[in-house]
Amino acid sequence: MTSHAENTKRIAKNTLMLYVRMLFSMLVSLYTSRVVLNTLGVEDYGINNVIAGVVSMFSLLSSSLSTAISRFITYGLGKGDMQTLKKIFSSSINVMLGLATLIIILTEIVGTWFLNHEMNIPTERMDAANWVLQCAIFAFAVGLITVPYSATVLAHEKMDVYAYISMTEICLRLVVVYCLYASPFDKLKSFALLTMTVTIVILIIYYYYCRRNFHECKYCYVYDSSLLKKMLSFSGWSLLGSGAYLFNTQGVNILMNLFFGVGVNAARGIATQVDGAVQSFVGSFTMAMSPQIIKSYAINDLEYMHTLVCRGAKYSYFMTFFLTIPLILEAQQVLSIWLGVVPDHAIVFVRMTLLSSLTVVIANTLITAQVATGNIKKYQIIVTLCGLWVFPLSYIFFKLGFSPETAYIIYFIVYFGLIFVRLYLVKNLIKMNWIKYAKEVLLRMGLVSACSIIFPSLVYFNMPSSLIRLLTICIVSAISSLTFMYLLGLDKNERIFIINKIQNKIHLSKH
């Protein structure tokens, strides 16, 4: 059996590979977002963003099934049952093919009607908007078929392969931006078609790699009613949580379109890009840790699982906090440098999105732990009922004449409360001491946050807005955050571990 030390080294190695992927992705994303915004213009950029939301409204089915596929493949690997793995993979392909067909039919009927009769899009751009919808539907269907292959790569913890394929996709998207800039045709139509092409290429790459390297990825027709029942039952309950989150994000995006127009959608799209860059940084760590959490549960090593859940939540929060403080304080300066032309509402949207992301990342390892158990009925019902309030409350406040920023305030309050709801429910599923979690994770997060923000805030309020202030805040924030994370965020054993690592590095460098 693999030791915990070897597992920790694997997590560290995989995290490093995913960070390389993330940094590359972030740099390209920052560049391409600006070019796409400037090339398409605010109006077309907003149209593309809101239509992606229409298609995503149907992704709640795929999201729940994707979670089920990842869980069952990883759990099967933890158990070492190759025969069951083969059945899981082939069954997953069957399910995704059926789902892709269903979603294409639904989006062609409901999505096309909603786009042409309900959405607030300029008349002269309706033809381009319909083109974008068709490309988005097909790209979405292709993405569904990719899920079992990418899930298998992650379950085997081949993070280097996942990183290389992701970087290939990023490079292709960079080519898309160049082609968009040079295209003599309608820019919005060209962007949609090229983006769809990228998803097809990535599916082909995953297909050939998995076929050559994993025995379970050789598809054959399988009908295992017992396995399908378990997967669909798991997916069905996951569907509740996926649906709530989808309404709270893409649903609110459509509400903003209906009440405020595509200009606000463009601002929200920018905020989503910034948040996505930050989340991808933290997600690299969570992605590397998730297989170990699920496999630990599969072999009933709950103590190690608890350690991963607690440290994963704490470190994810610290990494997010480290990145978001300078961005929140200097959102106006950063967006001006990045975009040149900053859409209205974008600055406030970015700040509030980043604050909300701090509440979301805390729950990542708790969600993974819940998924590992497979016992999710009660959890999903309660979390969904609590979390679903963002969409109706946003609609009510918009109807009463409140600003679009109100939706972000509602989102933050609801998801902050969900941290404690999730903890209460998950602790029983995995037999974890919630008092220890509150003390070692939540309390340390609060202390680090309160102390770390003081010095960057003093700089922000006592210096005029400039590039010098931006650089100063970045430096002060980094020093302040790292210092208090070390002093207040880590326990004694974690501090000793870091000191020993530094001493070993210094010793090796001298020899």
Q: What is the DSSP string of 135-202?
A: HHHHHHHHHHHHHHHHHHHHHTT-HHHHHHHHHHHHHHHHHHHHHHHH-SS-HHHHHHHHHHHHHHHH
One domain for residues 493 and 427: no
What pLDDT score was predicted for residue 1?
Answer: 44
pLDDT in tens, the chain (511 residues): 455 656 666 666 666 666 666 667 667 766 776 677 777 776 777 777 667 666 665 555 666 666 677 778 777 777 766 777 888 888 888 888 887 888 788 878 877 787 777 667 777 778 888 888 888 888 888 888 888 888 888 777 787 788 888 888 888 888 887 787 777 777 778 878 888 888 899 999 999 998 888 887 877 777 777 777 777 777 777 767 666 777 777 788 888 888 888 778 888 888 877 777 777 666 666 777 777 888 888 888 888 888 888 888 888 888 888 888 998 999 888 888 877 777 788 889 889 988 888 888 888 888 888 888 877 788 888 888 888 888 899 999 999 989 889 998 998 999 899 888 888 888 888 888 888 888 889 999 999 999 999 999 999 999 998 889 999 999 999 999 999 999 999 888 878 877 876 777 666 555 5
d(CA 233, CA 240): 12
One domain for residues 352 and 368: yes
Which candidate, 455, 445, 437, places its Cα nearest to that of 485? 445
d(CA 209, CA 150): 10
Task: State pTM to two decimals.
Answer: 0.70
| Domain boundary residue, one of 427, 452, 477 | 452
Give, in degrees to the nearest 5, the angle at Cα 510 between 508 and 511: 65
The CA-based diameter of the chain, rounded to the nearest angstrom, is 72
State how many domains the chain has.
Answer: 2
Judge contact between 398 and 255, C-beta under 8 A. yes
One domain for residues 465 and 403: no
One domain for residues 426 and 354: yes
In the chain, the N- to C-terminal Cα span, in Å, equals 34
One domain for residues 335 and 445: yes
| Domain boundary residue, one of 452, 468, 497 | 452
What pLDDT score was predicted for residue 56?
Answer: 61
d(CA 312, CA 78): 20
One domain for residues 278 and 342: yes
One domain for residues 109 and 180: yes
One domain for residues 357 and 472: no
Judge contact between 15 and 284, C-beta under 8 A. yes
One domain for residues 384 and 322: yes
| Domain boundary residue, one of 452, 479, 498 | 452
Domain that holds residue 361: 4-452
Measured CA distances, 179 to 43, 103, 270 (Å) = 20, 29, 21
One domain for residues 88 and 202: yes
Strand, coil or helix: 58:
coil
One domain for residues 361 and 501: no
One domain for residues 82 and 107: yes
Q: How far is CA 408 from the centre of its chain?
A: 17
